[in-house]
Amino acid sequence: MIYLDNHASTRCDPRVIEAMMPWLSEHYGNPHSGSHAFGRQAAEGVDAAAHDLSKMLGVEPESIVFTSGATESNNLAIRGVCLHPRQKRRHIVTVTTEHPAVLDVFSELENDGFRVTHVPVLRNGDPNAGVVDLNQLAEAVDDDTALVSIMWANNEIGAIAPISEIADICHERGALLHSDATQAVGRIPVDAKAADVDLLSATAHKFYGPKGSGILVVGNSNRRVRLKPQVTGGGQQNGLRSGTVNPAGAVGIAAALQLCVVEMEQAHPKTLRLRKQLFDSLAAGIEGLQINGPELESEHRLAGNLNMILPSIEGAAWISATPEVAFSSGSACSSVESKPSHVLTAIGNDESQARRSVRFGVGRFNTTDEIEQASTLLTRSYREVAQLG
């Protein structure tokens, strides 16, 4: 089995597992039990993780809130800002291609009376298709906008947002910027202070860490961010997110990001090379493949992302016919739904094109041999399915 679905999740790196193990087996105290050494030791692990994460993301350690993943982080950021008792503004802005963990929260807030604007992205034909349209964004943000939520990198087509320019547009009107950086953190440099992002969501399982461990960065010291907590109880994490912090998860997410940061310079060209190998060998065997999203050479595209439209068969049929290779049609996060991907239609594809699309995510553990084998298997199965049809 060849794993090429690294946007859905990644294999936890054995070095991350090793770093986590003592926090499951030996240091098992509750990090919030300050009255004994077991608790204090666990707290030290959590604090060290927050410190390391904050350094890598350009913020203060107090800005790091540990969560169960990016879905929870997005909920806390968006609902937290909008529902804070001192929030007077009633307008919120997002982009049509966001993850459901953002879009669904916006829909609920709309039902609660917030005015919502969905800004479109550049469409097929533009070298940066899938990137938010900055002119339309500037028109959408007004003096009543409380929050703008824009992902740093898209999970389906790998489009990378010009996040600093976006931050300027938001702050000019006094709005806060939240970025779901789930697909960006660990893959490209992410500095919340330098980019001036006020709230940032990330999750370890997208960068070779454990599932169920995420963070929300709250504030970058440039301006005040007030959040209404969404999970209440024991008042942990300064009351922002009650519940016992998971020390192994905290250590795991910090260790995972550390490895990505240290190895990014070598990893990036290797990932680019493997994606090129994958696309070139598939294109050599299957005529008429079309890229979804920014051009492969664009600096606005994640190195490992390949999303393309097949000329004659549906993505789901190709996936079923190639059980030896793990890849996906549309977004894995919404694969329970049979609707065509909202991201692919937002860039201008019709329903048939969206259904004929597939996504590959090349990652750290892939090799040249694997890509060669996968391409051979995929080309063969494509031809079989296409002949049947």
Q: Which residues are catalytic?
A: 333
Could you tell me the smallest distance in angstroms from the CB atom of residue 157 to ligand PLP? 11
**Per-residue exposure over 29-62, b if at least 16 CB sit within 10 Å of its own CB, e if not:** bebbeeeeeebebbbebbeebbebbbebbbbbee
Which residue, 209 or 340, has its beta carbon nearer to ligand PLP? 209
Residue 168 CB neighbour total at 10 angstroms:
14
**Binding track, positions 277-316, relative to ligand PLP; x by CB under 6 A:** ----------------------------------------
CA 310, 315, 317, 321 dihedral sign is positive
Select from 99, 187, 301, 356 the one that contacts ligand PLP (CB under 6 A). 99
**Per-residue exposure over 88-119, b if at least 16 CB sit within 10 Å of its own CB, e if not:** ebebbbbbbbbbebbbebbeebeeeebeebeb
Alpha carbon of residue 236 to chain centroid: 26
Q: Segment contacting ligand PLP (CB under 6 A): 56-64, 69-77, 170-178, 274-282?
A: 69-77
Q: Is residue 183 a contact point for ligand PLP (CB under 6 A)? A: yes
Distance (Å) of CA 336 to CA 73, 310, 324? 22, 22, 21
Select from 6, 71, 237, 366 the one that contacts ligand PLP (CB under 6 A). 71
Which residue, 145 or 203, has its beta carbon nearer to ligand PLP? 203
Token digits of residue 231: 């999970």
Q: Which residues inside 325-344 make contact with ligand PLP, applying CB under 6 A?
A: 333
Nearest alpha carbon to residue 217 among 232, 227, 209, 207: 227
Distance (Å) of CA 169 to CA 80, 106, 148, 162? 21, 20, 10, 11
Nearest alpha carbon to residue 106 among 74, 153, 65: 74
Which residue, 99 or 356, has its beta carbon nearer to ligand PLP? 99
Select from 10, 128, 149, 182 the one that contacts ligand PLP (CB under 6 A). 182
The helix or strand, by DSSP H or E, that contains position 243, with its residue range, turns out to be none
Select from 80, 130, 158, 214 the one that contacts ligand PLP (CB under 6 A). 214
Could you tell me the smallest distance in angstroms from the CB atom of residue 72 to ligand PLP? 7
Q: Is residue 5 a contact point for ligand PLP (CB under 6 A)? A: no
Q: Is residue 180 a contact point for ligand PLP (CB under 6 A)? A: yes
Task: Give dist(CA 100, CA 71) in Å, integer.
Answer: 9
Which residue, 69 or 130, has its beta carbon nearer to ligand PLP? 69
Select from 29, 69, 209, 340 the one that contacts ligand PLP (CB under 6 A). 69
Q: Which residues inside 100-119 make contact with ligand PLP, applying CB under 6 A?
A: 101
Token digits of residue 163: 């996040």
Residue 285 CB neighbour total at 10 angstroms:
14
Q: Which residues inside 133-172 make contact with ligand PLP, applying CB under 6 A?
A: 151, 155
Q: Is residue 216 a contact point for ligand PLP (CB under 6 A)? A: no
Q: Segment contacting ligand PLP (CB under 6 A): 67-75, 125-133, 251-259, 342-350?
A: 67-75
> How many amino acids of this chain bind ligand PLP (CB under 6 A)?
13
Task: Give dist(CA 201, CA 216) in Å, integer.
Answer: 5
Which residue, 207 or 279, has its beta carbon nearer to ligand PLP? 207
Q: Is residue 252 a contact point for ligand PLP (CB under 6 A)? A: no
Binding site for ligand PLP (CB under 6 A): 69-71, 99, 101, 151, 155, 180, 182-183, 203, 214, 333
